[in-house]
Amino acid sequence: MIKFAETVLNGFALGSVYALIALGFVVIFKASGVMNFAHGSLLLFGGYVTARLHDAIGFIPAVLVGAALAAALAGLVQLLATRGLRGAEIHTLTILTIGVDVLLSTELNRQIGADYLTMGDPWGADVTRLGSITVADARVASIVVAVVVIGAFFAAFRWSRWGLSMRSAAADPEAAALMGIRLDRVRLIAWCVAGALAAVAAVFLAAFPAPGLDRTTGQIALSAFPAAILGGMDSAVGALVGSLVIGLTAAMAAGYQNELSVLGAGFPDVAPYLVMVLVLLVRPTGLFGSKELTRV
């Protein structure tokens, strides 16, 4: 029972980090219809900046700078896509992000090498005991931070001018543009928000019990793909639900590895994808995704 509770808590912590990443996917997808494959390297970039700066300026400012730079970089990618490829197909833009990802991840891999970079986070390896349940502080922090950040995001999405223009642009870009909404600007902000969210997620991906930020951290962002897809690519609520499902799946698969040994070693890594494929079989556009309609 204790193990089960700890596993569930871990699942929530993991899910909260995935939610930060998956929300970024969804925001970008809603704004510009692009699946951003460069997300993993954006995340790695934000984490890298934080890791390099925290000694000099302290942890919180370093995170803020990392988020700001990751946002700027994401904005650059979007500018490249809109300026360079005005009116190209969505597929083309998606493949463009793959090209950007190749460039970014190669460079970051060279910079990081085989090192583990510490984030300088205040939690270190501390643990908190709730009765007989032990949970790492970093995980509690990740849940708290994710709830705050995601809550702020949803509030902005619901009540701010940007959120309104974002929603209308997603609903019908043509009509939104005719009503005076600057699509380019809305998209730019969406990409920046996604970049910043990814940078925050990087901090928690590198925190305890992970040994630190290394060259493979960006690939963890790939696990947020199933989360975003499972919930539905154009639904922010879906991203949250999907992230929790994927987080719990991964934590359960890791926690009960011995009981699941029949499924082979390394099963926790593939469990999210398995769950996603099963969901897609039943609902081809995810749990909350809008169905594709065609007008003829």
Partner 1 sequence: MSDTRATAEPTEPAETTEPTETTGITEPAEPAGTVTAPTAAPHSPSAPGRRSGKVSPRGRRAATLAAGVLVLLALPFYVSSFWLQTGLFAMAAVIGAIGLNLLSGTTGQLSLGHAFFLAVGAYGYVWLASEPSGTGYGSRYGLGLPPVLAFVLAIVLAGAAGGLFSPISGRLRGMYLGIATLALVFLGHHMMLNAPQVTGGFNGRSVPPLDILGFSFTDTSPDGLTVIGVPFGGLERLWYVGLALVAVAWLAAHNLLRGRPGRALGAVRDSEVAAAVMGVHLTRYRASAFIISSMYAGAAGALLALVFKRVVPDHFGLLLSIDYLAMIVIGGLGSVGGAACGAVFVALIPHLLTKYADDLPLLTAPGTTGSGVSPGDAARYLYGTAIVLVLIFAPGGLAGLARRRPRGKGDDSPRTRRFPLRNRTTPKEHTP
CB 54 within 8 A of CB 62: yes
Residue from 276, 17, 282 nearest 142 by CA? 17
Residues 39-78 as x/- pattern, contact with partner 1 by CB under 8 A: ----------------------------------------
Interaction of residue 239 with partner 1, rule CB under 8 A: no
| CB 269 to partner 1: min, Å | 7
Interaction of residue 292 with partner 1, rule CB under 8 A: yes
| CB 12 to partner 1: min, Å | 24
Interaction of residue 254 with partner 1, rule CB under 8 A: no
| CB 192 to partner 1: min, Å | 20
- From CA 30, how far away is CA 49, in angstroms rounded? 28
Tokens of 263: 């499924």
Q: Which of 225, 237, 239, 247 binds partner 1 (CB under 8 A)?
A: 225
CB 280 within 8 A of CB 229: yes
Interaction of residue 162 with partner 1, rule CB under 8 A: no
**DSSP for 222-261?**
GGHHHHHHHH-TT-HHHHHHHHHHHHHHHHHHHHTTTTTG
Instruction: Provide φ and ψ at 94, rounded to 5°.
Output: -60, -45
| CB 233 to partner 1: min, Å | 6
Tokens of 122: 């205040």
Interaction of residue 32 with partner 1, rule CB under 8 A: yes
Interaction of residue 259 with partner 1, rule CB under 8 A: no
Interaction of residue 85 with partner 1, rule CB under 8 A: yes
Residue from 223, 219, 238 nearest 283 by CA? 238
Provide the 8-state DSSP code for 117. Answer: B
Question: Which residues are near partner 1 by CB under 8 A?
Answer: 29, 32-33, 35, 80, 84-96, 98-103, 106-107, 109-110, 173-174, 177, 183, 222, 225-226, 229, 233, 264-267, 269-270, 273-274, 276-277, 280-281, 284-286, 289-290, 292-296
